[in-house]
Amino acid sequence: MKSYKVAVIGAGDMGSNHAAAWKLAGHEVISITDIDEPRAQSIANQYELEKVYTDYKQAAADPEAEIISICLPLPFHAPVTIYAAQQGKHVFCEKPLANSFQDAAAMEEAVRKAGVQFGIGFQRNLSNSLKQVKQWADEGKFGTPMVINSTNMMEVRPKRIMHDANGNNGPIMDTGCHYFLMWQTIFGSKPKSIYARGGILAKDRAELSHIQSLAIDTGIITVEYESGDIAEMTVSWGLPAGFKMGGRTDRIFGPKGGAEGSFNNVTDRLMLYEGGEKEEVPVDRNQNLHQDQFALFAEAIEKGEPAPVSFQAGKEMLAVTLAILESIETEKVVSYVHP
């Protein structure tokens, strides 16, 4: 397998994850970019990177760089992807894809015109635990219809842009896509209709007072699938500091049985329920999900094949997200429209 030269854009936690995982996957990270130069320099020192930039255009124009790895807030996904593609570079971008179909279309057109590859960071869908639950569902261990319940319960996020409606646009946009893709994968079906209620629990929090337009940070979401299966999620990023009541692990059940555990993350065990029986099933947790996704992306580039997770998955998750936000706004059931 060829070793590619990678430029990482964004020196936050995810930028550090990308720098480490690209190297673990056998590739060379040649630069790190961030407008906060000391923060970028810190990651450069940690991973022994020679080049530090404060302008993504410099990093993308570097003739050495072959892959641009984007770890920036959502509003920058489109402009950085488009510019990198115009420089003839392959692009790997963190989720979610974009905050509008207009931006997604512009990104896709730039990539198509340049003849480069594009991948998106839905690494959680590669977890061994999800593969196991999917296998059980396909084997009929749960019966049909199936119901999945997921939660994501957190304090106000330390990265305040997560709460900005003009930034990462809250948990439904920022992290919900991981769950929406997980549900679709397990059911093997596309959404049919969506109903959600939600609001802003943290609207009076002093630490968010500088944000002009707060995103919805709390919601209860129900998605019905064409298969007749149903997924439900309770999410909040508005809990008080130090709050001790966290979310529950994922649960799936049907007329024959069920399972519970962290379905779309690295875990060492799942609980399987069949009839009146309960079994603890070990799961191989010896995996680095970021490393795995980068290995698959690099393999696709080398073979000249489309990236295994690309624009279609990103657009489908965006369609679910926008339908949820529309349902919260209108207080009505919203039909899912395939992108």
In a domain, 57, yes or no: yes
Q: What is residue 224's predicted lDDT score, i.e. its pLDDT? A: 98
Two structure tokens written together for 4: 């590619």
- As for how many domains the chain has, the answer is 2
Distance of CA 47 to the CA centre of its chain: 24
Say if residue 259 is in the same domain as residue 166.
yes
Question: Domain end: 68, 92, 116, which one?
Answer: 116
- Name the residue among 16, 25, 111, 110 with its Cα closest to residue 71: 16
Are both 96 and 58 inside the same structural domain? yes
What is the average per-residue pLDDT within 67-80? 98
The per-residue pLDDT for 246 is 84
Give the pLDDT band (50/70/90) at residue 229.
very high
State whether 177 and 323 are in the same domain: yes
The per-residue pLDDT for range 45-71, each reduced to its tens digit, is 999 999 999 999 999 999 999 999 999
Domain finish residue from 85, 116, 147: 116
96 in any annotated domain = yes
What predicted TM-score, i.e. pTM, was given to this entire model?
A: 0.96
Are 179 and 327 in a shared domain?
yes
Q: Quick one: pLDDT band at residue 85, thresholds 50, 70, 90?
A: very high
Joined together, the tokens standing for residue 261 give 């555990």
77 in any annotated domain: yes
Q: 210 is written with which tokens?
A: 């500088």
Q: pLDDT, tens digit, for every residue of 105-146?
A: 999 999 999 999 999 999 999 999 999 999 999 999 999 999
72 in a domain, yes or no?
yes
Q: Which of 71, 99, 116 is the last residue before a domain boundary? A: 116
For residue 204, what pLDDT band results from cuts at 50, 70 and 90? Answer: very high
- How many CA atoms lie less than 13 Å away from 333 in the CB half-sphere? 7
Q: Which two tokens stand for residue 159?
A: 């990265």
Cα–chain center distance at 254:
27
112: containing domain: 5-116
72 and 204 co-located in one domain = no
